[in-house]
Copies of this chain bind each other. A is one copy, B any other.
């Protein structure tokens, strides 16, 4: 949604291109340094923050829609995306909206009473994990601003988005024990302390170095590159790499990781 023309066409005729009543919202978790962040979007005209989201095109698959929405905001296109819940029960999701307005380029635009955008929406929640320094945040006619917010300092969000976020977080953490992560979050070659720190950040707890390395190596998803990383005035840690064949098998078949 780049131009004003596109924007008005969407407001007036969006229901010809998109499925009304049904949206996708994405909890995009970003890992960087040793922090877990969530990507929040500020809509023009709505005074507050929420998760980025969008509508599904009439003939688009759900996974393509979710990928497209993510790409529009972050310009990433290879990432791990997972459906985690459908939201249609809260007060907000049962009733039609009214008096929605948008302020593209600071021209306030009040939606007509019978606008398709006033209809009730049921939302499919997806979550993603990305390395946030690789992300190129992109605003548009709807999104005034995008920020990475520390997961522990999320303000009150619009609609039912706090509930969505908490579902996403819980789901993502449970999934961590059954699905390998890291390929989209770490450099190509990484050290054991780096990947351990990733897990510690996401799970928000300290892990034992010795036990972590035993458990992770037993899965055989990563292999020693025989190189080390120079980190200055300390012993140089070994560099590891994902074994993509085994990693992809693990993505498909699941893992059991008891950390």
User: Which segment, of A86-94, A157-165, A235-243, A244-252, faces chain B?
Assistant: A86-94
A19–B119 CA distance with the chains assembled, in angstroms: 10
Q: A21-B21, A21-B22, A22-B21 are in contact. Are A122 and B62 (CB under 8 A)?
A: yes
User: Which residues on B sit within 8 Å (CB–CB) of A85?
Assistant: 83
Tell me which of B20, B63, B83, B94 contacts A59 (CB under 8 A). Answer: B94
Indicate the member of A21, A59, A61, A88 with the most B CB atoms within 10 Å.
A88
Tell me which of B19, B63, B89, B124 contacts A61 (CB under 8 A). Answer: B89
Verify B88–A62 contact, CB threshold 8 A: yes
* Residue-wise interface mask of A (89-109) relative to B, using a CB-CB cutoff of 8 A (1 in contact, 0 not): 100011100000000000000
Residues 176-199 (chain A) with a chain B CB within 8 angstroms: none
User: A39 in the interface, Cβ–Cβ < 8 Å?
Assistant: no
A94–B58 CA distance with the chains assembled, in angstroms: 8
**SS class, residues of chain A in contact with chain B:** mixed
User: A120 in the interface, Cβ–Cβ < 8 Å?
Assistant: yes
A20–B122 CA distance with the chains assembled, in angstroms: 12
Q: A19-B21, A22-B21, A22-B22 are in contact. Are A59 and B89 (CB under 8 A)?
A: no
Verify A94–B61 contact, CB threshold 8 A: yes
**Would you give the shortest CB distance from A107 to chain B, in whole angstroms?**
32
Verify A56–B88 contact, CB threshold 8 A: yes
Closest B residue, CB atoms, query A21: B19
Verify B124–A59 contact, CB threshold 8 A: no
Closest B residue, CB atoms, query A85: B83
User: Which residues on B sit within 8 Å (CB–CB) of A95?
Assistant: 59
**Would you give the shortest CB distance from A20 to chain B, in whole angstroms?**
8
A95–B57 CA distance with the chains assembled, in angstroms: 11
Verify A86–B59 contact, CB threshold 8 A: no
